A and B are shown apart, each in its own frame.
Chain A
Amino acid sequence: MNRTPDVSEHILVCVSPSPSNPKVIRAAARMAEAFHASLTAIYIRPTNYDAMSVNDRARLQGNIRLAEQNGAAVTTIVGDDVPAQVAEYAHISGTTKIVLGRSGMRRRHFWSRMPLTEQIILNAPDVDVYIIPDSAADLRDQKERSHLTDHIRPTLKESAATVLILAAAAGIGLAFTRFGFSEANIITVFILGVLIVSVMTESPLYSAAGSLAGVLLFNWLFIEPRFSFHTYETEYAVTFAIMLVSSLITGTLANRLKLNARLAAREAFRTKVLLDTNQLLQKAENAETALQITAHQIITLLDRDVNIYPRAGSALDTAAVFDSPRPAGDASPADGNEREIAEWVFSNQQAAGFRMEAFPEAKEQYHAICLNGYCYGVVAIRLDKVPLEPFENSILISILGECALALENLRNMEEKEQAALMVRNEQLRSNLLRSISHDIRTPLTSISGNASNLLSHYAQLDDETRRQIFSDIYEDSEWLIDLVENLLSISRIENGQMDLHLSLEVMNDVIDEALKHVDRNAARHHITVQNDDDLLLVNMDARLIMQVLINLVNNAIKNTPAGSEILIRSGREENEALVSVCDNGPGIPDPVKSHVFEMFYTGQNKVADGRRGLGLGLALCRSIVEAHGGRISLSDNEPSGCRFVVSLPVKEVQVNE
């Protein structure tokens, strides 16, 4: 059981309050074990969940618990379009097999005669569907029926329309008799009336009632003896029967046509919204834009205010607020417990809020953006007591599914990149260790040798020699300190990425601080600082950027003769902060320029200054600057020398008073 499930197999089982559902869940669990597949249980929660009986609810809870005990990840989706949502979820979660109970098969939609299974097969043609036979009587049938009648409760408006249309048909019929037209014309008028009734009304009940009323009216008004339900001739019985049947068929057909047209229109709209969302999400480069796109699409669809709480680490970040363009004059103030609900949704991965089981008193509805048990964030949609239509709800769920899919792709991509970086950095680090252990010995030899000389031969040495030895010890230890600082920065390269502690810093403060740490030999050079922008704020890891500046200035000091000029200049150019370090030394020949940022490259001065420089400094500068999303470049300085330019991205800052 502890074996990791084969990722290529993913079984989805539908949970329902049906008493036979446990059997289905167990079958699915056995299948998952046999296929070494991962198991997800999905429950499509109807929007009229409140109307569900206590028994059904208890059974549902039991079934959900059973699914969890069998190792299934349970997902609840709110919506009434069961087949579309199951298929949609199967699609986005990469499900390979769906397990259904037969009780689910009988469940039908008021506009459709197609069983649920068939619809799921149609919606998700590339998924295997397994049906578990069900011997227990379906206790929910009665419930179903009462649910069905909800949709065909007569309304005053539609009833009035029916009566009016039939009256009109009767009137036309009376006119026809006056003109001496045949009865066949009158029958056609009645059938036409029924047709109009079924087009104008919602429920098939009207066309049925209209058909019956039409036949009765026809009998009463036009068949001798008139104004009675009697007939003299028996052949009229046949006429009535045919008339009833044909008007019933006409009515039902028209009704079905209308429903199909509406369904098709909805389907087209749904496809368009989802397609748009999908296309936009594919273009998203990071999680932030993906969430923005999602929020925008939800607003386009629902025209309501949306808050998104993105995931940050293992918790939720602060909400990003997206207001719909609709004027929010009547919006009531927030309750203050939004965050609490969002966190509940985040940890339970279940919808909550208005008219839900959890937090039904909230003004918003909360949905988790999650996939395969990983939650990417929470979306809160402000309803203000106006619930979403079932259709809107189902598209919303699909959009959130697409969003989760996009976020998962982004996450996978990131992980892959990080893995590649890690390998590269691991190589770098081992090269580095080899190089250090060799180069660190030289200054240590000098320090310990010099100190031992002083200890044993102090008296024999003259003042000048002693001074020289002391200063050698000092310089070598300074070099080691410098090395340790660089190594500390390199050790920050962890898990394939430089671990940046970003904060907003004023550039000239950082430059001033860096100059306090440059080489002691700096006194022999003329260093000037020129800040073009006193308040140049850059989001950076101050310690690392200081290291960059220290390395650049030390590099200039090391490679130019005493008395050279070194100019550090900072300024802003559009969205970039530029810091340049220029010197008027001998400069760097072109063939060497392309190598200076390589690790362990020590330039041409190897002979002159054998042990100084590991070739770490400039390579480290480049890694640091690039980790900040910036660039470092080297060019010739006018009239002589070289010029290093560091550019870092600048973010506009909001200041709170």
Chain B
Amino acid sequence: MNNPVVLVVEDDVHVRSLMITTLKTHDYRFLTAVNGAEAVMMASSHNPDVVFLDLGLPDMDGIEVIRQIRGWSNMPIIVISARSDDADKIEALDTGADDYLTKPFSVEELLARLRVTVRRLKTMGAGADDAGSVYTNGRLTIDYAAGCAFLDGEELKLTPIEYRLLCLLAKNTGKVLTHTYITRNIWGRSWDKDVASLRVFMATLRKKLESGPGAPTYIQTHIGIGYRMLKVD
């Protein structure tokens, strides 16, 4: 795989040039679009690896751009927006965005998010062959057929709900899953009580998964938004 191509959709000249400079200095290739229509066109004609999308575009809402791209492609979309309300982030994620970043963002953070997404792209390409049977991520292994998970070859003692949570996160590695999305998948509904339960199960799952000092972080918490399984090397 060559250096990934990033489509930068941003109407503000300064922020756009900041992102382009950052991408250039780290050897990424890039395309630019200044409005929603152009973004959809570029995405369909150039098929970039990753999209950086601003939500406040002059011609249409960024959410609409996500919806249109999701109509035909699964390409990772990272939302970069000045809207900092959790509700906006959740709407973007539930529409199909993979990640979000609020302005003002630090350059390091932008690059870190891009790395996570690119790594996920690679595993998606490689893991497509033996999809469905065994999942491996660092020291974590999930045998879907046997219905059990292992850490360093040792079986994890998980409750049914914890196991289902782990599988759901693993199948969406690298993607931020909102609380609503997770509770709908696990309990079939999303009530306050379920979101509360989710916190508890997630905490116990993380404890089992990330015990011991120096253990890598598998599950990342996004306060007020949801959780994400990270790809660990």
Contact = CB atoms under 8 A, between A and B. Distances in A.
B189 to A, nearest CB: 11
A504 B199 contact: yes
A546 B223 contact: yes
B70 to A, nearest CB: 27
Interface string A202-217: 0000000000000000
Contacts of A477: 104
Interface residues of A, number: 23
Contacts of A501: 86, 224
Contacts of A513: 221, 223
Contacts of A657: 159-161
Contacts of A512: 221
Interface stretch (B39-47, B150-158, B200-208): B200-208
A455 B116 CA distance: 36
B86 A653 contact: no
B197 interface: yes
A605 interface: no
B196 A535 contact: no
B224 A504 contact: no
Contacts of B194: 656
Contacts of B104: 477, 481
Given A501-B224, A543-B86, A506 B196 contact: no
B197 A655 contact: yes
A549 to B, nearest CB: 11
Contact of A504 (B187, B196, B207): B196
Contacts of B197: 653-656
Contacts of A139: none
A543 to B, nearest CB: 6
Interface in B201-233: 201-204, 207, 221, 223-224
Contacts of B221: 506, 509, 512-513
B34 interface: no
Contacts of A510: 223
B193 interface: yes
A651 to B, nearest CB: 9
Contact of A656 (B84, B187, B204): B187
A275 to B, nearest CB: 38
A537 interface: yes
B203 A655 contact: no
Nearest to A654: B193
Given A488-B84, A534-B207, A656-B187, A506 B199 contact: yes
A506 B204 CA distance: 11
B5 interface: no
B161 A535 contact: no
Given A505-B199, A655-B196, A543 B223 contact: yes
A542 interface: yes
A657 to B, nearest CB: 6
Contacts of B57: none
Nearest to A535: B203
A534 B199 contact: no
B195 interface: yes
A78 B196 CA distance: 42
Contacts of B202: 506
A654 B202 CA distance: 15
A656 B193 contact: yes
Interface secondary structure of A, over-half rule:
mixed
Contact of B200 (A488, A503, A543, A653): A653
Contacts of B196: 504, 537, 653-655
A477 B84 CA distance: 18
A501 to B, nearest CB: 7
Interface string A395-433: 000000000000000000000000000000000000000
Contacts of A654: 193, 196-197
Interface string B62-101: 0000000000000000000000101000000000000000
A505 B223 contact: yes
A542 B200 contact: no
Contacts of A534: 203, 207
Interface string B177-200: 001000000010000011111011
A537 B199 CA distance: 8
A535 B159 CA distance: 17
Contacts of B195: 503-504
Q: Which of A510, A535, A537, A655 has the most CB of B within 10 A?
A: A655
A236 B153 CA distance: 117
Q: Which of B160, B195, B224 has the most CB of A within 10 A?
A: B224
A535 to B, nearest CB: 5
A537 B196 CA distance: 9
A655 B203 CA distance: 13
Contacts of A505: 199, 223-224
Given A481-B104, A655-B197, A656-B197, A503 B203 contact: no
A648 to B, nearest CB: 15
A546 B161 CA distance: 29
Contact of A655 (B179, B200, B223, B224): B200
B86 A655 contact: no
Nearest to A318: B191
Nearest to B159: A657
Interface in A498-516: 501, 503-506, 509-510, 512-513
Contacts of A653: 196-197, 199-200
Interface in A539-593: 542-543, 546
Nearest to A480: B104
Contacts of B193: 654, 656
Contacts of B159: 657
A501 B224 CA distance: 9
A516 B95 CA distance: 27
Contacts of B160: 657
Nearest to A514: B223
A481 B103 CA distance: 10
Contacts of A655: 196-197, 200-201
Nearest to B187: A656
Q: Which of B179, B194, B207, B223 has the most CB of A within 10 A?
A: B223
Given A506-B199, A654-B193, A656-B187, A543 B204 contact: no
Interface string A616-657: 000000000000000000000000000000000000011111
B151 to A, nearest CB: 18
A500 to B, nearest CB: 12
A340 to B, nearest CB: 19
Contacts of A656: 187, 193-194, 197
A183 to B, nearest CB: 84
Given A504-B195, A653-B200, A509 B84 contact: no
Nearest to A488: B84
6 A-B pairs with least C-beta separation: A542-B223, A504-B196, A509-B221, A542-B224, A655-B197, A535-B203
7 contacts: A504-B196, A504-B199, A506-B203, A506-B221, A534-B203, A535-B200, A537-B200
Given A535-B203, A654-B197, A655-B196, 5 more contacts: A501-B86, A504-B199, A535-B207, A653-B197, A656-B194
Interface of A: 477, 481, 488, 501, 503-506, 509-510, 512-513, 534-535, 537, 542-543, 546, 653-657
